[in-house]
Structure 1
Amino acid sequence: MGMVYPKGIGIGEVVEIERKEVEMVVKVRPFENMRGLEEVFILTP
């Protein structure tokens, strides 16, 4: 799926994916003691 660059802390269960021109914004539900939603940017091939 390409390289993943976290914005903020941690990776979790993906709950929403928004496709953009050059990247996809993926909203995840953080695992364990992390709170709230974090966004990670996935660069498409």
Structure 2
Amino acid sequence: ICIAADITLESEFIHTKTAGAWKKKKPVLHKRPVLFLMGR
């Protein structure tokens, strides 16, 4: 799963991790424009 937040801003956040890794440590995304990408 890839999570991309605040694309084109200085606070840009783009990371790819397994679902298990995201479950252990969730990013703070409240009120931020976000894209979620899922693949095999």
**Pairwise TM-score range, normalised by the shorter structure:** under 0.3
More strand by share: 1
Higher helix share: 2
* TM value normalised by structure 1: 0.26
- Give the TM-score normalised by structure 2: 0.27
Larger relative contact order (C-alpha < 8 A, sep ≥ 6)?
Answer: 2
